[in-house]
Structures are given as C-alpha cells and as structure tokens.
Amino acid sequence: MHGPALLVIAHGSRDPRHAATVHALVRRLRSPQGSGGKPELRVSTAFLDFNAPSVPQVLERMANDGVREVVALPLLLTRAFHAKADIPSVLNEARARHPRLRITQADVLGPSPLLLDAVERRLYEAGLTPADKRSTGVVLASAGSSDPEAIAVIADMARELRHTGWCAVRPAFASAVTAASPPRPEDAVRALRAEGVARVAVAPYVIAPGRLPDRIAAGACAAGADVLAGVLGPSPELARLLLERYEEASALAPGLAAAG
C-alpha cells in the first residue's frame, strides 16, 4: 500500500439508497479507468449514523490490521456541524484509543469547480444541453443547514454556476432551518417563473438519495419545474474530487505527525 489508508465518512441514512450510492462512489476510487482511480489504495467506508460500520469500528479494524496512517475524508459538501464537531470528536476518541494510529482529517468536498461540473452533468443527463443555458434558470437545491458558513458556500456555488452561462441560478434548501436560509426549492422555482424565466430546472446539490432529496423532488414537482436532475451520486467528478482531497491531506499528514 502506498500512502495512508483512506476512510470515507458518510452521514448515513435509513434510506437504503443512501448507503448503496456511497458504496458505488467509493468503488469508483478503486477503478483504474475514467476517474484516475487508485486500485492500490486501501479504502474503507464508515457512517456517522443509521448505517454500519461505524467510524470507531473501522478505525479499530485498521489499527488491528497494522495500519499506521489514515486520512479520514468527510463525504460532505460544506463545513457545517458534522465536519466541525461530530467527526473531529469521533476521530479524537479514536486517537486516544489507538495512539499509534495517525489520523488526518481531510477537508470537506466543497466548494470546488468539480462539483459544478457534476451538477451540470446531471442537468444534461436530465435532458438539457449547453444550448439551453440562456433560456433556463436553475434552482441549486441543497439539503439545508443552520450554519452560516454552509449557507454562504451554497450561495457562492449558485453564483459560480450562474457564471457558466445559465440565465439565472437560485440557491434553495429542502430544510429551511433559519430565517436567513435560502428559500425552499418550490419557492425558488416559483420566483424564477415570476421573473419570466422560460424553463426552470432543479438540480439537487446533494450526494445521495434520501428523505431530503425526496423533499427536493417533491417541491420541484409541486411547483411545476420543467426539469429535475439527479443527485450527484457516483459521478466521475465526485470521485476525482475525493482523490484530490485525499492527496491534499496526505501531503499534510507527515508534517502533522511530526508536529504531534
């Protein structure tokens, strides 16, 4: 094995499609074709909640197998509560339990141009073409967060997507948890209609299916959106981004280990 082992940490869901999508994405990391995959890389998957195995279970197994360096990569699009609190807490407990196991937490996936590429891939798979951009408004629909940093990142991503040529792009949250949150997807669709946008597409800015993505789809349908794209899922862009975050964290790992 070359370099640290990779532990992909997903949130987890009662919806079986969530774990299936996460596992499909992780399989792409091992593929030598299409995404610059690394077949030699030791990759494991763990979940914070609802699904097995848990993060402590996988790190215990790695320690028992003689692994000495791990990059823990949050499968999250923004730095919100899970990235700032839940995951660091679990990793710190593992460090105390396994002092010989050096664990580096990688950055979250977003923001990144690769995520915008993945969003556009799903829009084109849903039937749109680059020629449709000037007449199509897009609702970039995220799951939702109470974290101002996460809300700002989604707004920034919507602006960046707008700069690629779509006639309008509005951020939206399936779960509007604060008054400062972007509108719900259905409200954003209706707002674009009110502005005279001829065609409205809803692009879920979420990784895997589940309750909130289903809410996004229901809102898009209720508001009469013309196009509903799929979730980001195991797209090649997302797989490349995971490898980028792994390599960034791997470059830092020796310095962090020496400092500790």
Q: What is the CATH number of the domain that holds 34?
A: 3.40.50.1400
149 and 86, same domain (yes or no): no
Who has greater pLDDT, 179 or 219?
A: 219
Longest dimension (CA), the chain: 61
Query: E strands within 39-173?
Result: 43-47, 69-74, 102-105, 136-142, 168-173
Residues 165 and 255 in one domain: no
Q: What are phi and psi of 63, to 5 degrees?
A: -60, -40
The answer on pLDDT for 177 being more than 80 is no
208 and 140 within one domain: yes
| 82/133 same-domain check | no
Asked whether residue 153 carries a pLDDT value surpassing 50, the answer given is: yes
pLDDT averaged over every residue in the chain: 92
103 and 11 share a domain?
A: yes
Domain that holds residue 245: 5-109+235-259
Structure tokens at 42: 């030791």
Q: Which of 97, 41, 22, 106 is nearest to 71 (CA)?
A: 106
Q: Determine the angle formed by the axes of helices 236-259 and 113-125, rounding to 10 degrees.
A: 160
Residue 205 lies in a domain: yes
Top pLDDT among 82 and 219 is at 219
pLDDT of residue 26: 95
Check whether residue 23 and residue 69 sit in a common domain: yes
Local structure of residue 86 (DSSP, 8 states) = I
Q: According to the model, what pLDDT value does residue 213 have? A: 96
Q: What is the Cα–Cα distance from 169 to 11, expressed in whole angstroms? A: 27
Q: Does 254 lie in the same domain as 208?
A: no
**32 or 93: whose pLDDT is higher?**
93
Residue type, 162: R
Domain for residue 117, yes or no?
Answer: no
- Asked whether residue 67 falls in the same domain as residue 83, the answer is yes
**What pLDDT is stored for residue 175 in this prediction?**
87
Q: What is the mean pLDDT of residues 134-149?
A: 93
Domain assignment present for residue 120? The answer is no
How many independent structural domains does the chain possess? 2
pLDDT at res. 254:
56
Whether 143 and 92 map to the same domain: the answer is no
pTM of the full structure = 0.92
- Whether residues 139 and 65 share a domain: the answer is no
pLDDT tens for 12-43 read 999 999 999 999 999 998 876 545 567 789 99
